[in-house]
């Protein structure tokens, strides 16, 4: 069964793997039974989970002996392997053939990937059975006699966690396993269709091996493989040496908006107004890899990447080409997955039951259902990005990219190119083909502009234009690129005061200040510190390999009365330090950092005991000072009506 691995699922599998290698037990339901069974076999065989390097590499004479024994299988499999490799050429894949014992017989594919596999002896002569290198597609498919995809942390050995592998066993006419076919790539590549392609290729190999099968069955196998290729999301087209289109898959038909029957048999220049890249491949015999192009077809502009590979006959003469089109949105989605830019937090992940946090969550849930711009206000370390991710994951854009940009961390001279992208030759050092900006990468999804208050004022006008016109123009370019992006801005600054100081543009402030959500600091979240301690203890104890069963009451007293200027981030760091310092299973006062383990903390604790009236009076005075006496903003920040504020000011004899 095909297995998709999302970033959140990978994290779950990683946690389950960490527990298993320590305990030898799988208790999590999200670990597939076939993977759990394989882990247990490897554990019982004593496979080193920290390794994964193939120690059993056959001498050349033994390799030749195995190859000679499987000559028929190799002769039949190699052309099909080449076809399969050609379909994914340039996409960082490797195709491998192994015998029934797990020894690799043949491998082919991307040269860079082949070079990487040498570091772990994933090459001819290497033993890739479970007993040698743990759970992997080759060893496990031979162990269970069934096709399987093993992705990332599902591998038993940690060195294999960067790979996604799909394999299927090959049978003779009597049903005996005689080998297996494997296709492997980096975990960051799209691999959801790999297992289907491998299974289809294996069926083709078996059909060739089973001489009693009819021509009709061979045609059905070809049809099966064609069907799998037609389900690929990239547009695929093949042309002959005379520039005539010979095949078009449904994905390309959808991208271009033209039926395959209206394209096949026609000259390529009758469909595409600009086919320079494709013609160059046929004329030179050199591949064109991942060029970003704008194709004019049927009076429309298609923004995509184009990859074209020549097809050569036995005499190495070019007889055609295979062209792969990827819509730029699809490319951006792949980039975002590889860069781990998908939002992972949801409302259920927010720790806290205090009234202020619950009110903040309530407002955030309302904002999630709206397409409006959101402005998150809060001190550093309060979790503004966590709330931004939860809003995204509860919105209609949850399946689209989530891109976070720290406006304070980007060098002033690079902000524009980072946000809006640049064209080839825009400046010295610009990459060939240019580069999309964060707005393009976030198209269809959400862009978090963190620390927006630190953006240089001369850049703010460019940002305002993009927000108003909903398109970007790359640096060095002149063509507007339409975008559909929901913006969430976050800052620890008072933007109203920044506007008054002339540091922040008033028009941009009004554009961002649509739905404003104030995230309370940790010192105002009464009762939540205990919850955070429980949460971080569970999280970090696993990470640090320690089991903390008790936290002294004195420790909790200190943590609950400290003022936490660094908020949740500071609390997390304090607890990580304390867990590292624990020598037994109990956290004591001595485990805390020095600045918490002093008399000054106790004194401050006593000084901070106020009556409710004093707290209320101080809160009003502080808010009036913060907002320079602006009654509307003060009332809004305190969560009360203006009339109520006036009454309390009169009660406490507070003058505006």
pTM, entire model: 0.48
Over range 313-330, report the average pLDDT.
82
Q: What is the pLDDT of residues 90-135, one digit of tens each?
A: 778 899 999 999 999 999 988 888 888 888 999 999 999 999 999 9
d(CA 95, CA 137): 12
* Class of the CATH domain delimited by 7-229: alpha beta
Q: Indicate the CATH number for domain 522-607.
A: 1.10.8.60
β-pairing verdict for 486-491 and 374-377: parallel
Q: What fold characterizes domain 341-518?
A: Rossmann fold (3.40.50)
Buried b vs exposed e over 411-440: b needs ≥16 C-beta within 10 Å?
eeeebbbbbbbbbeebeeebeeebbbbbbb
Averaged pLDDT score across all residues of the chain: 84
d(CA 543, CA 344): 19
d(CA 649, CA 620): 8
Q: What is the pLDDT of residues 140-184, one digit of tens each?
A: 999 999 999 999 999 999 999 999 999 999 998 888 999 999 999
Q: Across 75-89, 603-617, 632-646, which has the greatest mean pLDDT?
A: 75-89
Query: Residue 605: its pLDDT value, please?
Result: 46
| Annotated domain spans of the chain | 7-229, 233-330, 341-518, 522-607, 612-651
Q: Would you call 559 helix, strand, or coil by DSSP?
A: helix
Q: Would you call 496 helix, strand, or coil by DSSP?
A: helix
Q: Residue 315 pLDDT more than 60?
A: yes
Torsion over CA: 263, 266, 270, 275 (sign): positive
Q: What is the pLDDT of residues 175-222, one digit of tens each?
A: 899 999 999 998 878 778 889 999 999 999 998 888 645 555 656 666
Q: What fold characterizes domain 612-651?
A: Arc Repressor Mutant, subunit A (1.10.10)
Query: Residue 374: its pLDDT value, please?
Result: 93
Among 109, 105, 62, 101, which residue's Cα sits nearest to residue 85? 109
Q: Residue 227 pLDDT more than 90?
A: no
Q: Residue 436 pLDDT more than 70?
A: yes
Query: Residue 432: its pLDDT value, please?
Result: 64
Helix 60-69 to helix 71-87 angle (10° resolution) is 90
Over range 409-413, report the average pLDDT.
79
Q: Residue 32 pLDDT more than 90?
A: yes
d(CA 413, CA 427): 12
d(CA 548, CA 100): 47
Query: Residue 368: its pLDDT value, please?
Result: 92
| Maximum alpha-carbon separation in the chain | 100
Higher per-residue confidence, 652 vs 499: 499
Query: Residue 329: its pLDDT value, please?
Result: 63
- Asked if residues 563 and 522 have their Cβ atoms less than 8 Å apart, the reply is no
Name the pLDDT band for 338 (thresholds 50, 70, 90): very low
Same fold flag, 341-518 and 612-651: no
Q: What fold characterizes domain 233-330?
A: Beta-Lactamase (3.30.450)
Q: Residue 39 pLDDT more than 70?
A: yes
- Asked if residues 266 and 244 have their Cβ atoms less than 8 Å apart, the reply is yes
The per-type count for the chain, helices as H runs and strands as E runs, is 26, 19
Sequence-distant (≥ 6) Cβ neighbours of residue 178 within 8 angstroms: 70, 73, 99, 100, 170, 171, 172
Share of the chain above pLDDT 70, in %: 88
Q: What is the pLDDT of residues 450-492, one digit of tens each?
A: 999 998 888 898 899 999 988 888 888 878 888 889 999 999 9
């Amino acid at each position: 069964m095909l297995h998709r691995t999302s970033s959140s699922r990978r994290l779950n599998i990683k946690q389950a793997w960490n527990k298993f290698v320590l305990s030898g037990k799988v208790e999590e339901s999200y670990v597939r039974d076939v993977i759990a069974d394989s882990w247990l076999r490897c554990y019982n065989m004593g496979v080193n989970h920290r390794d994964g390097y193939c120690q059993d590499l056959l001498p050349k004479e033994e390799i030749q002996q195995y190859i000679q024994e499987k000559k028929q299988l190799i002769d039949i499999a190699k052309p099909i392997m080449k076809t399969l490799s050609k379909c994914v050429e340039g996409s960082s894949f490797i195709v491998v053939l192994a015998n029934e014992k797990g020894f690799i017989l043949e491998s082919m594919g991307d040269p860079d990937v082949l070079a990487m596999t040498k570091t772990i002896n994933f090459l001819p002569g290497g033993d890739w059975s479970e007993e040698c290198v743990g759970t992997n597609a080759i060893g496990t498919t031979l162990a269970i006699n069934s096709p399987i995809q093993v992705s990332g942390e599902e591998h038993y050995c940690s060195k294999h966690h960067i790979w996604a592998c799909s394999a299927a066993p090959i049978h003779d006419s009597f049903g005996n396993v005689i080998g297996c076919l494997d296709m492997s790539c980096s975990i960051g590549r799209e691999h959801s269709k790999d297992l289907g392609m491998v299974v289809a290729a294996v069926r083709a190999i078996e059909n060739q091996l089973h001489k009693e099968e009819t021509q009709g069955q061979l045609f059905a196998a070809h049809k099966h493989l064609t069907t799998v290729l037609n389900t690929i999301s990239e547009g695929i087209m093949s042309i002959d040496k005379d520039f005539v289109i010979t095949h078009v898959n449904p994905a390309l038909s959808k991208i271009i908006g033209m039926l395959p029957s209206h394209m096949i048999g026609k000259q390529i220049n009758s469909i595409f107004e600009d086919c320079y890249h494709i013609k160059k491949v046929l004329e030179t015999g050199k591949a064109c890899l991942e060029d970003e192009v704008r194709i004019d077809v049927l009076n429309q502009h298609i923004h995509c990447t184009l990859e074209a590979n020549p097809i050569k006959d036995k005499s190495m003469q070019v007889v055609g080409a295979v062209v792969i089109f990827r819509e730029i949105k699809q490319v951006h989605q792949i980039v975002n997955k590889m860069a781990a830019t998908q939002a992972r937090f949801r409302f259920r992940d927010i720790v806290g039951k205090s009234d202020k946090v619950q009110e903040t969550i309530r407002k955030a849930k309302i904002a999630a259902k709206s397409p409006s711009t959101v402005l998150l206000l809060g001190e550093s370390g309060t979790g503004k990005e966590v709330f931004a991710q939860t809003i995204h994951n509860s919105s209609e854009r949850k399946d689209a990219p989530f891109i976070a940009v720290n406006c304070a961390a980007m060098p002033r001279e690079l902000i524009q190119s980072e946000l809006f992208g640049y064209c080839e030759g825009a400046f010295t050092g610009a990459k060939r083909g240019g580069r999309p900006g964060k707005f393009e990468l976030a198209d269809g999804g959400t862009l978090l502009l963190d620390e927006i208050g630190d953006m240089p004022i001369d850049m703010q006008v460019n940002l305002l234009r993009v927000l108003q016109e909903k398109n970007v123009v790359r640096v060095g370019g002149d063509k507007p690129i339409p975008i559909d992006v929901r913006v969430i801005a976050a800052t620890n600054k008072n933007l109203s005061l920044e506007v008054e100081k002339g540091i922040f543009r008033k028009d941009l402030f009004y554009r961002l200040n649509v739905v404003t959500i104030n995230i309370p600091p940790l010192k105002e979240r009464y009762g939540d510190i205990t919850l955070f301690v429980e949460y971080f203890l569970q999280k970090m104890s696993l990470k640090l390999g320690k089991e903390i069963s008790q936290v002294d009451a004195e420790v909790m007293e200190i943590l609950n009365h400290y003022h936490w200027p660094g908020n949740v981030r500071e609390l997390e760091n304090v607890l990580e330090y304390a867990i590292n310092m624990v020598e037994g299973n109990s956290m004591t006062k001595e485990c805390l950092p020095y600045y918490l383990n002093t008399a000054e903390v106790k004194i401050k604790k006593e000084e901070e005991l106020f009556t409710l009236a004093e707290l209320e009076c101080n809160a009003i005075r502080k808010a009036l000072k913060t907002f320079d006496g602006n009654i509307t903003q003060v009332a809004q920040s305190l969560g009360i009506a203006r009339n109520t504020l006036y009454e309390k000011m009169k009660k406490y004899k507070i003058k505006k």
